[in-house]
């Protein structure tokens, strides 16, 4: 079975490469800009023609959330036109498309949600940032062009690879005695390696027909680690697990203004993905521990 991965140099792309050895029945084809620019339709067509993948995992994205506010066209091209190109090419080659989306498609303002397990796949999106809007446009472009897709929405992705919040906190702790982190944005961290495992589990399930590849199973799914925290809690746990002593101050969002506004509450309800694919999800603190262990190796 051939699985083509886009954006392979990013943190999710590298996480897939990190666990690929566990899937000897899969022949992975890794591509980033140089091999396959998802914004170039003909480029995608010619790469698909060579490899004829049964599955394509699109991890390629424009992920600079704040910069997107001033680079609207570029963000739209990569996050919306790119997925549209892939959906069309996947249709041409009868390839199942797995695409990653984000909690930033929600506005995070619903107070009633805090009483539940979080946003469901069926909740109405209302992005508050250019990044969130372009990611939603990407979801819609896929849905309008190809029926064999899995869109997996996730949140607060970190890993031992590339740049992310966890690595930023560790770097800042080595430079400063005091740090302030927002305490009123609530969500769930996601170890990219756990996300990679789930994507490959979906592929294996489909391939083995454990989950029949029917229109009922294609669609939108949520995935993050288990548990709920604020960015402040996340930072505190990173420092605790590393035995780093630092003055950590909880601050409100107003005290840390950013070009893009972020959802105040973006916990994702994972009931659907757990039920359909029979997966168990790790608690975020346990997964963080595993990630930090890998980072120290
Ligand atoms: N990071 C998060 O906290 C987070 C949260 C929720 C959802 N997500 C979603 O999860 C997915 C994976 O995120 P990530 O953190 O792994 O992102 P990432 O580290 O930024 O990786 C994205 C990769 O895509 C590449 N890329 C950009 N434009 C491309 C193009 N036109 N053609 C081919 N490759 C291109 C990037 O290359 P360059 O680096 O050279 O630009 C990079 O290697 C994305 O869909 C993202 O929106 C992420």
The 10s digit of each residue's pLDDT in 1-48 is 999 999 999 999 999 999 999 999 999 999 999 999 999 999 999 999
Instruction: Give the number of domains in the chain.
Output: 1
pLDDT tens per residue, range 107-151: 998 655 555 689 999 999 999 999 999 999 999 999 999 999 999
**84 within a domain of the structure (yes/no):** yes
For residue 266 and ligand 1, the question of a CB distance below 6 A is answered with no
154 lines ligand 1 (CB under 6 A): yes
For residue 153, give the ligand 1 atom closest to its CA: 7
Catalytic residues: 131
Find the 79 Cα to ligand 1 centroid distance in Å: 9
Domain assignment present for 221: yes
CA dist., res. 89 & res. 240, Å (int)? 47
Longest dimension (CA), the chain: 56
- CATH number, domain containing residue 56: 3.40.50.720
Q: Residue 259's pLDDT is what?
A: 97
Q: Are strands 149-154 and 96-102 parallel, antiparallel or unpaired?
A: parallel
CB atoms within 10 A of CB 218: 18
Residue 232 is assigned to a structural domain of this protein: no
50 CA from centroid of ligand 1 (Å): 24
- Percent of the chain scoring above 90 in pLDDT: 92
Give the domain extent around 70. Answer: 2-164+188-225+267-282
Query: What is the per-residue pLDDT for 117?
Result: 82
Q: Is residue 121 part of a domain?
A: yes
Structure confidence at residue 88 as a pLDDT band (50, 70, 90): very high
CB 209 within 8 A of CB 140: no
Q: What mean pLDDT is predicted for residues 255-272?
A: 94
Q: Are 286 and 217 in contact (CB under 8 A)?
A: no
For 205-220, what is each residue's pLDDT tens digit? 888 765 555 556 899 9
Pair 236, 249: CB distance under 8 Å = no
Structure-block tokens of residue 279: 């997966």
Please give the number of the atom of ligand 1 that sits closest to the Cα of 100. 45
Nearest-angstrom CA–CA distance, 216 and 139: 17
Tell me whether residue 59 is in a domain. yes
The structure tokens listed for 97 are: 């498309």
The predicted pLDDT at position 208 comes to 76
Q: Does a structural domain hold residue 11?
A: yes
Find the angle CA(268)-CA(273)-CA(278) to the nearest 5 degrees.
140
Residue 99 within any structural domain of the chain: yes
Residue 134 Cβ < 6 Å to ligand 1: no
CA distance 158 to 132: 18
Residue 294 lies in a domain: no
CA of 292 to the centre of ligand 1 (A): 21
Our CA angle for 214, 220, 224, nearest 5°, is: 125
Q: Which of 74-83, 165-174, 199-208 has the lowest mean pLDDT?
A: 199-208
């Amino acid at each position: 079975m051939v699985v083509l991965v886009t954006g392979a140099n990013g943190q999710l792309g590298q996480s897939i490469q990190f666990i690929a050895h566990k899937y000897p029945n899969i022949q992975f084809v890794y591509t980033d800009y140089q091999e396959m620019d998802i914004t170039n339709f003909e480029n995608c067509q010619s790469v698909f023609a060579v490899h004829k993948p049964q599955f394509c995992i699109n991890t390629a994205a424009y992920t600079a959330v704040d910069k997107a506010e001033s680079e609207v066209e570029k963000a739209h091209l990569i996050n919306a036109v790119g997925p549209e190109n892939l959906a069309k090419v996947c249709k041409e080659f009868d390839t199942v498309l797995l695409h990653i989306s984000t909690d930033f498609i929600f506005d995070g303002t619903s107070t009633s949600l805090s009483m539940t397990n979080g946003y469901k796949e069926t909740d109405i999106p209302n992005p508050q940032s250019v990044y969130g809007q372009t990611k939603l446009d990407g979801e819609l472009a896929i849905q309008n062009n190809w029926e064999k897709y899995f869109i997996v929405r996730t949140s607060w992705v970190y890993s031992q690879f590339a740049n992310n919040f966890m690595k930023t906190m560790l770097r800042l702790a080595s430079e400063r005695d005091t740090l302030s982190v927002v305490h009123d944005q609530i969500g769930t961290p996601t170890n990219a390696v756990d996300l990679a495992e789930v994507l490959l589990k979906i592929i294996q399930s489909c391939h083995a027909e454990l989950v029949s590849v029917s229109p009922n199973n294609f669609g939108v799914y949520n995935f993050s680690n288990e548990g709920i925290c604020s960015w402040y809690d996340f930072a505190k746990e990173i420092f605790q697990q590393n035995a780093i002593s630092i003055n950590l101050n909880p601050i409100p969002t107003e005290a840390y203004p950013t070009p893009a506004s972020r959802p105040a509450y973006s916990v994702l309800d994972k009931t659907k993905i757990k039920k359909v694919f029979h997966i168990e999800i790790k608690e975020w603190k346990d997964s963080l521990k595993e990630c930090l262990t890998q980072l120290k190796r």
